[in-house]
Structure 1
Amino acid sequence: MSNFLVAGVTQIETIVRVDKIPVSYAPLTSVQDSIYTAMGGDAYNESLALKWLGDEVTFMSIVGRNQDLGLINPPDRKITLSTDYIIPQMKETPTEVVLYDKQRKQQTFEDIKDLRENVYDMNVVTPIAGVCDMMVLANANFCRPFAKTAAELKKPIAVNIRNYNPEKEKYNTDFLEPAKVLYFSDDTLSEDPYDFIDRMASSYGTEVIILGQGSEGLILFDKTKNIKAHYKTVKTNEVVNTIGAGNALFACFLHYYMETGDSVNAIKNALLFASYKIGYMGTSNGFMTVEQLEQWRNLIWGIKKTPFEEQGA
């Protein structure tokens, strides 16, 4: 079990299932069980996944002044996140609407409200950062001081850059330079994926890079182990909704990577975790248990328990 400080965006997400993207115009479309609304956001989802896997999690975020924090922890969920460090200081909570179809295409509409103008009280952060094992950050503006604090305290940093944009790379150097682990999605990537990883690794000295490739799987780079390999997706569930799968994968990888230091075993567990997740509606639903992960891992790859697991640590 590791102690994670997670900082990033919390938002209200509405997920809409459509027949095909782009959507054809119709004055009214009425389909039962096709719209789902709940709290979400990359860092929120990652916090839930880490907590589900048994880690200690301190989640720090900013929401609207009138936001009902009770929505952070719906009554039917088995785990809860502390809301002590979710600060209601924005005019409104950020909002996102995602359309998705059977071909796994997605179209996202995002409204971050006044998020860029808000800052987080770092006096609260420093003592908690001092005792955490890793800081997991989104590349939101208010998270920049978190990256600086982590570097000063010599704490490892993992950053979910989400969609890469070469024109905005210079604005992300505060996160790219100190990060030990980086996660990207190839949704907007225009260059060869292996060339991209080589460039990121050589430019910033990153130890571990994960490049998510949707239904094609992912590429794992580990500088220490001299690994740069593609891993295909695995199937444990029928696909219902792929939104949030990347957050689940990233969180699960960090859980096992921090526990064992084995990036290959961690990424295989993460692929399983994400494959199960896509069988459920909603970005914060459908997490596989540690026991299920072990069973599926042994079934697919024949991986025995690690020495760490055998010791019952």
Structure 2
Amino acid sequence: MSKFLVAGVTQIETIVRVDKIPVSYAPITSANESIFTAMGGDAYNESLALEWLGDDVTFMSIVGRNQDLGMINPPDRKITLSTEYIIPQMKETPTEVVLYDKNRKQQIFEDIKDLRENVYDMSMVAPIAEACDMMVLANANFCRPFAKEAAARNKPIAVNIRSYKPEKEIYNTDFLEPAKVLYFSDDTLAEDPYDFIDRISGTYGTEIIILGQGSEGLILFDKTHNLRVHYNTVKTNEVVNTIGAGNALFACFLHYYMETGDSVNAIKNALLFASYKIGYMGTSNGFMTTDQLEQWRNLIWGIKKSEFESNS
């Protein structure tokens, strides 16, 4: 079990299943089991997954002043996130609407409200930062001071950058420079993925980079072990909804990487965790247990004491 401090965005998400993106105009479309609304957000989802896997998680976030914090922990969920450090200080909670179709295409509409103007009370952070094993951060404005806290205490940082845009790289420097682990999605990537990984690692000295490639799988880069390899997706479930799969994959990777230091073992478990997740509606539903992960992993890849030893 590792101790994670997770800081990032909490938002209200509405997920809508459509026949095809782009959506054709119709005055009204009626379809059962096609609209789902719940709490979400990258850091929120990652906190849930880490807690589910047995880690000790302190989640720090900001929401709207009138937000019902009871929505953070719906009664039908098996795990509970502490709301002690979720501060209701914004005018409204950020909101996102996601349209998705059977071909895994997504169209996202987001309204971050006054998120950029808000700051987090860092006086609460110092003792928790000192006690944690890793900080997992979103690249939100209010998370910048967390990166400085981690660097001051020599704590490893993992950052979910999500979609990469060249014009935003300067904005993200505060996160890119100190991060030990970076996660990107290739949704908006215009350059060759291997060239991109080499450039990011060469520029910032990043030890671990995960580049998600949707249905094509991902690329794992591990500087210490001179590793840069593509992994295909695996199938453990029928695809219902891929939203939140990247958050699940990132969290599971961090759980096992912090436990073993073996990035290959961690990414294989993460691929399984994400593949099961996409069989469920909602970004915070459908997590594999550690026992299920072990069973599937042994079934697909066999039992190996160490991935690095077995590949040497």
TM range (shorter): over 0.9
- Note the C-alpha offset of 1:277: 0.1
- Note the C-alpha offset of 1:22: 0.3
Number of the residue aligned with 1:128: 128
Identity %: 87
- Note the C-alpha offset of 1:179: 0.1
Residue 101 (1) aligns with residue 101 (2)? yes
Letter in 1 for 2:272: L
Tell me the distance in 2 between the aligned counterparts of 1:3 and 1:220: 24
Tell me the distance in 2 between the aligned counterparts of 1:191 and 1:35: 35
Structure 2: where are the runs of 5+ without partners?
A: 308-312
Tell me the distance in 2 between the aligned counterparts of 1:34 and 1:52: 26
Q: Check whether the contact 2:11–2:96 (CA below 8 A) recurs between aligned residues.
A: yes
Residue 31 (1) aligns with residue 31 (2)? yes
TM-score normalised by structure 1 residue count: 0.97
- Note the C-alpha offset of 1:112: 0.1
**How do 1:97-176 residues align onto structure 2 when only pairs under 5 Å count?**
97-176=97-176
**How do 1:288-307 residues align onto structure 2 when only pairs under 5 Å count?**
288-304=288-304
Letter in 2 for 1:258: M
- Note the C-alpha offset of 1:250: 0.1
**How do 1:73-88 residues align onto structure 2 when only pairs under 5 Å count?**
73-88=73-88
Q: Show CA shifts across 1:4-50 (max 9, x none).
A: 00000000000000000000000000000000000000000000000
Residue 18 (1) aligns with residue 22 (2)? no
Q: Check whether the contact 2:262–2:306 (CA below 8 A) recurs between aligned residues.
A: no
Letter in 2 for 1:235: K
Tell me the distance in 1 between the aligned counterparts of 2:142 and 2:116: 7
Q: Check whether the contact 2:273–2:293 (CA below 8 A) recurs between aligned residues.
A: yes
Q: Show CA shifts across 1:136-189 (max 9, x none).
A: 000000000000110000000000000000001000000000000000000000
Number of the residue aligned with 2:201: 201
Number of the residue aligned with 1:65: 65
Tell me the distance in 1 between the aligned counterparts of 2:121 and 2:163: 27
TM-score normalised by structure 2 residue count: 0.98
Tell me the distance in 2 between the aligned counterparts of 1:225 and 1:76: 42
Residue 218 (1) aligns with residue 218 (2)? yes
Structure 1: where are the runs of 5+ without partners?
A: 308-313
Tell me the distance in 1 between the aligned counterparts of 2:17 and 2:81: 28
Q: Check whether the contact 2:52–2:287 (CA below 8 A) recurs between aligned residues.
A: yes
Q: Show CA shifts across 1:76-131 (max 9, x none).
A: 00000000000000000000000000000000000000000000011101110000
Post-superposition, which runs of at least 4 consecutive aligned residues in structure 1 deviate over 6 A?
none
How many aligned residue pairs are there? 307
Number of the residue aligned with 2:47: 47
Letter in 1 for 2:69: L
Number of the residue aligned with 2:265: 265
- Note the C-alpha offset of 1:303: 2.3
Tell me the distance in 2 between the aligned counterparts of 1:304 and 1:291: 16
Letter in 2 for 1:230: H
Letter in 1 for 2:19: D
- Note the C-alpha offset of 1:304: 3.9
- Note the C-alpha offset of 1:224: 0.2
Number of the residue aligned with 1:177: 177
DSSP 3-state at the match of 1:170: coil
- Note the C-alpha offset of 1:305: 5.6
Letter in 2 for 1:12: I
Letter in 2 for 1:62: I
Q: Check whether the contact 2:147–2:157 (CA below 8 A) recurs between aligned residues.
A: yes
DSSP 3-state at the match of 2:26: coil
Tell me the distance in 2 between the aligned counterparts of 1:100 and 1:270: 23
Q: Show CA shifts across 1:234-273 (max 9, x none).
A: 0000000000000000000000000000000000000000
Tell me the distance in 1 between the aligned counterparts of 2:268 and 2:70: 34
Provide the aligned C-alpha RMSD in A: 0.9
DSSP 3-state at the match of 1:246: helix
Q: Check whether the contact 2:16–2:35 (CA below 8 A) recurs between aligned residues.
A: yes
Tell me the distance in 2 between the aligned counterparts of 1:122 and 1:73: 24
- Note the C-alpha offset of 1:306: 6.0
